């Protein structure tokens, strides 16, 4: 009789199990709340509230509530899918990838540091995270065609942007919000964060390039198998790189350039460039219009454009569902009244600690908080007004509290199943969650130890 081996549950099952665990926690963790002033919790105002334990009905509807809460992100992903569906049908991507691989002539490995620096800059400057979802369907085929596995393609984007987000220098959505609530300027502590960014991104590039070299040399060392995944480009037959396909790829690239420019808050970064202030509704419209334009350039008919776009959206439906379900965990915590209670426990744990101990405790407390509240801006709004004032009693500046917060939030977001980007990226690459953990845990350990070293030095110098 064949012995059965354990198989990691799918992302859907993992997230539903987390929803059940959070619902159970609402029966045992006291319900409480802080007093809020203009949407910001007031330190020392925590009080118990009437319990609101979440039952079977709440568990069953949590995923739908999360989907409604994340509908802007989900629609954006669907529009990206429709846009890519039309572009892929034109054959322009196949032709372009074939030309890139031929031109590189065995030097494909240099795509890794170049692209990771690009995503790392996006992560550290404007918190490029959810926006990266649009790049996975674009870059995964490139690395698969170059002889790597899906893990390499995911790592270039996820770990590149992730290293940047961990060491956010002027990221307005994490560092900016947190610095404002901590009562410090965005420039305070920036030297430490710049050094942290260089070290972390260098470590991530080295880690990915080492793994990619092993897979290229011996495909059996891949954690998922070379060529695994749905998004592939076949290099067996050459696709002509016609003038029309060149125009399509130009439009294709322009859509992504406009997306990147439109979400950067140039006004908050102190530049004279006009800020568009776009977010998911505008970005969704951008990809919809881009898809139609590409279809017209390829001389598709109206019915063909519509059918191809809808088919592309359907390919992304599973990713959208995962994003919605993961958001349901936060919704359930808030409805159960335990979010502020968990935060209050952190407030109590920090009382009376010295500078180094306080700084490291803040970092360690933010690790589980970041799992429960994966939104960096949401976590900053909830926690920094409470934890930053405590730092003054321990002789720790608000800038170091901000660094501890963003370092923990960024680290957790690389691996936590409550992070929609992580689960969505793995779904696109058809990489099982347990395989991702097996691959990335050593880098997470390096990041953890490096962060502790940086924070300790910062506390001693402060």
Number of helical H runs and strand E runs in the chain? 19, 4
Nearest 10 degrees: CA dihedral of 170, 116, 288, 284?
-30
At 98 the pLDDT is 72
DSSP states along 148-211: --HHHHHHHHHHHHHHHHHT-SS-IIIIIHHHHHHT--TTTTHHHHHHHHHHHHHHHHHHHHHH
How far is residue 294's CA from residue 84's CA, in Å, rounded to a whole number?
Answer: 10
Q: What is the sign of the dihedral through the CA atoms of 106, 88, 415 and 119?
A: positive
**Residue tagged 């080295």 (tokens):** 206
Instruction: Decide if 372 contacts 339 (C-beta within 8 A).
Output: yes
Residues 6+ apart with CB under 8 A from 113: 205, 209
Long-range contacts of 241-250 (CB under 8 A, 24+ apart): 241/95, 241/96, 241/98, 241/99, 242/95, 244/297, 244/298, 245/90, 245/91, 245/92, 245/95, 245/96, 246/92, 247/297, 248/87, 248/90, 248/92, 248/294, 248/297, 248/298, 249/92, 249/93, 249/96
How far is residue 343's CA from residue 237's CA, in Å, rounded to a whole number?
Answer: 57
Measured in Å, how far apart are the chain's first and last C-alpha atoms?
64
Q: Is 48 helix (H, G, I), strand (E, B) or coil?
A: strand
Best CA proximity match to 136, nearest among 172, 84, 176 = 84
Task: Point out which residues pair with 40 in neighbouring strands.
Answer: 37
DSSP states along 205-220: HHHHHHHHHHHHH-GG
Residues 6+ apart with CB under 8 A from 436: 151, 154, 415, 422, 426
Cα 385 to Cα 45, 127, 351, 382, 409: the distances in Å are 11, 21, 15, 7, 16
Best CA proximity match to 22, nearest among 335, 377, 340 = 335
Which residues of the chain carry a pLDDT beneath 70?
Answer: 1-8, 97, 172-173, 225-239, 268-269
Q: Is 40 helix (H, G, I), strand (E, B) or coil?
A: strand
Residues 6+ apart with CB under 8 A from 3: none
Which pair of structure tokens corresponds to residue 238? Answer: 């050459």
DSSP states along 85-101: HHHHHHTHHHHHHHHHH
DSSP states along 53-89: ---HHHHHHHHHHHHHHTHHHHHHHHHHHHHHHHHHH
Please work out, in degrees rounded to the nearest 5, the angle formed at the alpha carbon of residue 173 by the alpha carbons of 169 and 175: 35
Task: Point out which residues pair with 221 in neighbouring strands.
Answer: none
How far is residue 367's CA from residue 365's CA, in Å, rounded to a whole number?
Answer: 5
Instruction: Decide if 40 contacts 181 (C-beta within 8 A).
Output: yes
Residue 36 class from Cβ within 10 Å (0-12 exposed, 13-18 middle, 19+ buried)? middle
Instruction: Decide if 113 contacts 209 (C-beta within 8 A).
Output: yes
Question: What's phi and psi for 33, nearest 5 deg?
Answer: -155, 155
- Number of residues that this document lists for the chain: 462
DSSP states along 388-432: HHHHHHHT--HHHHHHHHHHHHHHHTTT-TT-HHHHHHHHHHT--
Question: What's phi and psi for 48, nearest 5 deg?
Answer: -75, 150
**Residue tagged 């969650």 (tokens):** 433
DSSP H or E run through 446: helix 433-461
């Amino acid at each position: 009789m064949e012995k059965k081996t354990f198989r990691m549950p799918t992302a859907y099952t993992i997230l539903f199990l987390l929803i059940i665990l959070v619902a159970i926690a609402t029966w045992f963790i006291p319900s409480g709340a802080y007093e809020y002033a203009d949407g910001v919790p007031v330190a020392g105002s925590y009080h118990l509230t009437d319990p609101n334990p979440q039952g079977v009905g709440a568990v069953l509807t949590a995923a739908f509530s999360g989907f409604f809460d994340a509908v802007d992100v989900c629609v954006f992903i669907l529009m990206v899918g429709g846009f890519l569906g039309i572009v892929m049908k034109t054959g322009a991507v196949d032709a372009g990838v074939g030309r890139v691989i031929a031109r590189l002539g065995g030097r494909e490995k240099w795509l890794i540091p170049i692209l990771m620096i690009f995503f790392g800059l996006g992560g550290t400057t404007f918190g490029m995270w959810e926006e990266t979802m649009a790049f996975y369907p674009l870059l995964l085929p490139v690395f698969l065609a170059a002889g790597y596995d899906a893990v390499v393609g995911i790592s270039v984007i996820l770990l590149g942007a992730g290293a940047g987000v961990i060491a956010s220098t002027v990221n307005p959505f994490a560092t900016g919000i947190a610095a404002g609530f901590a009562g410090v300027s965005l420039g305070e502590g920036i030297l430490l964060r710049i050094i942290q960014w260089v070290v972390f991104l260098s470590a991530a590039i080295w880690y990915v390039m080492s793994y990619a070299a092993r897979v290229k040399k011996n495909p059996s060392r891949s954690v998922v198998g070379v060529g695994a995944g749905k998004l592939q480009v076949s290099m067996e037959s050459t696709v002509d790189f016609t003038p029309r396909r060149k125009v399509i790829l130009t439009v294709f690239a322009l859509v992504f350039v406009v997306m990147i420019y439109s979400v950067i808050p140039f006004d908050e970064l102190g530049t004279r460039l006009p800020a568009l202030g776009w977010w998911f509704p505008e970005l969704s419209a951008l990809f919809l219009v881009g898809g139609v334009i590409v279809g017209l350039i390829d001389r598709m008919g109206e019915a063909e454009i519509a059918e191809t776009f809808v088919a592309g959206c359907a390919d992304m439906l599973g990713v959208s569902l995962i994003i919605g379900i993961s958001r349901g965990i936060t919704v359930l915590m808030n409805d159960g009244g335990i979010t502020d209670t968990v935060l209050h426990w952190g407030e109590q744990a920090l009382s009376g600690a010295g500078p180094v101990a306080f700084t490291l405790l803040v970092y360690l407390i933010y690790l589980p908080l970041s799992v429960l509240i994966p939104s960096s801006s949401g976590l900053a709004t909830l926690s920094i007004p409470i934890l930053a004032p405590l730092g003054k009693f321990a002789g720790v500046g608000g800038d170091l509290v901000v660094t501890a917060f963003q370092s923990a939030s960024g680290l957790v977001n690389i691996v936590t199943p409550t992070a929609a980007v992580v689960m969505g990226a793995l779904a696109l690459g058809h990489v099982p969650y347990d395989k991702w953990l097996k691959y990335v845990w050593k880098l997470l350990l390096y990041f953890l130890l490096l962060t502790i070293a940086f924070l300790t030095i910062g506390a001693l110098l402060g």
